[in-house]
Amino acid sequence: MPRLLFCSLAALASLAALAPAALAEGDAPTPAEVIDAALLEAAPLDGRAAERLVRTPRAWSIGGEEPKSPWSFSLGLALSLAQGNSDSFDLTADGALTYERDPWQLKVKTTFAYGEKDGSTATEALHVTVHAERKLSERVYLFGNLDFDRDEPAGLEYRWTPVGGIGFVLIKGRTIELKGEIGAGYTSEKRIGRSSTGSPAGYLGLEYAKTWDSGAKLTAEYKFIPNLGDFDLSVMTWSLKFAQPLSGVIDLTISLRVDHVLEPPAPSDATDVLFGLGLRANF
């Protein structure tokens, strides 16, 4: 501890000498860069201590700079058109909670659609996804995924699908990213009027994101979850969302979601489509 304290005092002394010189050169560094340079200047006194100081994440701010929160949240509301097991105009609410701090990432997303037709409930669907990632390298990561689905008009009382596996960043550029995931898990579901079933399941996922300088963003996701106990109950999901900033934290959103079960029990339709147009607030 005394050595670390001595190194800190030496770093502060070096900071006083380095900052004016850096500013005189016309290329003003950020406060964090000035302090890092000062700490490294003190390295000959105690190299390991100075290195630890430089690598220590700062929980404070300098000159009004605030550390970016790893948490973000969005809430949206949209008018939707449903087709398939439901044919109606609906009101759809969705929310997303994201945590990002290297090497971890967590996303929680939920969508609820409700609509009535001729005085009775025509649409009542809930979709929840919890997705966690742990980066192994810039291109490879481990993931865990939990999906919950409920869609009574489609005859689905509930479906739980926990899976895990490995993911790959296939394409990564300044404005685009494509990720692929493969894994395995378990699916448990109950359909109205039938006994609950449980089976091992596979998992294949693709996620694409494209951003523009205007702040607009397009995201597309595909999931295929083969039911290894009853392949007819295998599920495919496509989702597409485009967000265009309007002002401040408000976005205009256009969304499309398609859920397809290979051979659902009669009288359920195999495909459900939900198209929405609405607004989203980002926090």
Does residue 27 surpass a pLDDT of 70?
no
Q: Which of 225, 233, 242 is nearest to 280 (CA)?
A: 242
pLDDT tier, 59 (very low <50, low <70, confident <90, very high otherwise): very low
pLDDT tier, 267 (very low <50, low <70, confident <90, very high otherwise): confident
Answer positive or negative: Cα dihedral of 37, 38, 41, 42.
negative
Does residue 42 surpass a pLDDT of 80?
no
Instruction: State residue 52 phi and psi, 5-degree precision.
Output: -65, -40
pTM of the shown model: 0.75
How far apart are alpha carbons 189 and 260 in whole angstroms?
15
CA angle 232, 235, 238 (to 5 degrees): 145
226-266: per-residue pLDDT in tens? Answer: 999 999 999 999 999 999 999 889 999 999 999 999 999 88
Say what the pLDDT of residue 94 is.
96
Q: Which domains does the chain have, with CATH numbers?
A: 2-55 (no CATH), 71-282 (2.40.160.40)
How far apart are alpha carbons 33 and 36 in whole angstroms?
5
